[in-house]
Amino acid sequence: MSRLRRSSPSLALGLLTMISTVGFIDRIVVNALVEPLKEEFQLSDAEVGLLGFAYAALNIVLGVAIARMAERRRRLSFTVVGTLAWSVAAAACGFVTNWAQLLMARIAVGVGEAVGLPANQSVIADYFPPERRASAMSVLLLSPPLGAFIGLAGGALVAEVWGWRMAFIVTALPGLLLALLVWLFVKEPPRGQHDKVTDDTVPPISAVLRRFAELPSARHLVAGSALASLVGFGLTAFFAALLMRQFGIPLAQAGLYAGLIASLPASLSVLSGGALADKLAARIPSSYALVPAISLAIAAPLFCFGITRGDLWLLMVMVAASTMLQFMYLGMTFGTLQNMMHPRMRATANALLNIVFGFAGGIGPVIVGALSDRLADTGMAAGTALSLAMAGTAVLYWWAAAHYGIAARTVASDLAIVREGRI
């Protein structure tokens, strides 16, 4: 079997991007099913939001333990096993009979992804040199926008034709095939093959945490990206529901619109952001933090204005413009943080980041849902309440932008410290 495996950066990047995309599909498809699930189980918006937090509950705990094992063992084996596990759990969501069972199934999806995803960025970091990592990470991180489109548009279409249960089942199937392809054809890359490594021992978790703490830009990159993640997941969770409530759009059409808004502009944003940062870095090293600071600062007012419009097409255009800007942080942030880590720290660092991002991404839908419920309790129309809740949450993009602005002051010197082995 080992003879079939190839040391191909493009093959590894392509298959791991597809696996990450399937993982995001299985995470986000529930967002396309808000209205059918509310009707089936008589849920509030806050209870719907808890489905996102249920996914993150054990994911953020188990991810670190799995990552510590992945620092010492073949990382792609964890990818394969985790992908199989979450695919089965995602399919199980289609067979639940009450909300409690659905919560448990969503937790199981999160557990599978905790096993399967943390090591992927570490693998890609070892396939690509430092000067190409932001671009490579941008490709890997196309998985959220691509997964959002397939999960929202495809999930809504399947749900409208065959019911919401079948949407869970259908979106779970590709992971089984992709797990097999990775197992058969992708070779584990040598750790640190593009880095100057003088010590190949696995540092303790305390050393990983200390590196985050000692590099000022790393602290602010984590804080800014966590806030941006909180807002992004919170807004995406209810966008299809908003279109249905505010404009009376059918489920499949609302899912298609939500998927397009969440995918096409975001894909362009993620790719262009990473490529732009790599291109500018030689002349403006602070670009890894400065570009996200500017893009998030502009995205906030665009979204707040757009989401509260009563004209559907004006809303769509403004939100699409905001989406073009708000996801630029992804590739350059993860690429930069990987560059700041020792090769034997990267899987653990990614798992620790997943704790932060998992909690933030889980709590975002809860915040939006709770705000929407509170505003609706005042007698406000359901669509208006939800749009104002989403606009209020989007203001947090300014907070995220501030952290990136602070990180821009020291990111160049922090990367130099790491390159020179002074930490």
Q: pLDDT per position in the chain (423 positions), as tens? A: 567 888 888 899 999 999 999 998 988 888 888 889 988 988 888 887 777 676 666 666 677 777 777 777 888 899 999 999 999 999 999 999 998 899 889 888 888 887 787 778 778 888 888 777 777 877 887 887 788 888 888 888 899 899 999 999 998 899 999 999 999 999 988 876 666 655 557 778 888 888 988 899 999 999 999 999 899 888 888 898 899 999 999 988 888 888 888 777 777 777 777 677 777 777 787 888 998 999 999 999 999 999 999 999 999 999 999 988 888 887 778 778 878 887 777 767 877 787 787 778 778 888 999 999 999 999 899 899 999 999 999 999 999 999 999 999 999 899 888 887 777
Helices (H) and strands (E) in the chain, counts: 21, 0
Give the pLDDT of residue 336: 85
What separation in angstroms does the CA of 76 have from each of 60, 67, 116, 220, 299?
A: 20, 12, 8, 30, 36
Q: Which residues are registered as beta bridge partners of 6? A: 186
CATH of the domain at 66: 1.20.1250.20
* DSSP one-letter code for 110: H
* Coil, helix or strand at residue 6: strand
CA 33/CA 27 separation, integer angstroms: 12
Give the pLDDT of residue 55: 67
Residue 198 in any domain: the answer is no
**8 A C-beta contact, residue 259 and residue 317:** no
**8 A C-beta contact, residue 404 and residue 292:** yes
Return the number of other C-beta atoms located less than 10 Å from residue 2's C-beta: 6
* DSSP one-letter code for 186: B
* DSSP one-letter code for 202: -
What separation in angstroms does the CA of 67 have from each of 13, 144, 347, 365, 391?
A: 19, 21, 5, 27, 36
**8 A C-beta contact, residue 198 and residue 336:** no
**8 A C-beta contact, residue 422 and residue 342:** no
Alpha helices (H) in 33-173, listed in sequence order: 34-41, 45-70, 75-92, 99-116, 120-127, 130-140, 143-149, 155-162, 164-172
CA 257/CA 245 separation, integer angstroms: 14
Specify the amino acid at residue 387.
S
Give the pLDDT of residue 84: 94
The phi, psi pair for 6, rounded to 5°, reads -120, 145
Residue 402 in any domain: the answer is yes
Q: How far apart are the first and last CA of the chain?
A: 40
Residue 110 in any domain: the answer is yes
Structural domains counted in the chain: 1
- Domain that residue 338 falls in: 2-188+203-419
* DSSP one-letter code for 215: -
CA 30/CA 137 separation, integer angstroms: 26
User: For the range 207-211, what are the long-range contacts, defined as Cβ-Cβ under 8 Å and sequence gap of 24 or more?
Assistant: 207/345, 208/341, 208/345, 208/348, 208/349, 208/352, 209/352, 211/340, 211/341, 211/342, 211/345, 211/349, 211/423
Residue 319 in any domain: the answer is yes
The first and second tokens of residue 246, run together, are 């505010």
The phi, psi pair for 215, rounded to 5°, reads -105, 105
The phi, psi pair for 186, rounded to 5°, reads -105, 125
Q: In sequence order, which residues have a C-beta less than 8 Å from that of residue 9 and are 6 or more positions away?
A: 127, 128, 136
Q: In sequence order, which residues have a C-beta less than 8 Å from that of residue 223 and are 6 or more positions away?
A: 400, 403
CA nearest 342: which of 137, 134, 79, 122?
A: 122
Q: How far is CA 6 from the centre of its chain?
A: 28
Q: Which helix (H) or strand (E) holds 340?
A: none
Residue 194 in any domain: the answer is no
Give the pLDDT of residue 374: 93
* Coil, helix or strand at residue 248: coil
Specify the amino acid at residue 70.
A
Q: Give me the half-sphere count of Cα atoms (radius 13 Å) on the Cβ side of residue 366.
A: 13
pTM metric for this prediction: 0.71
Tell me which residue has tokens 């034709």. Answer: 161
CA 347/CA 121 separation, integer angstroms: 7
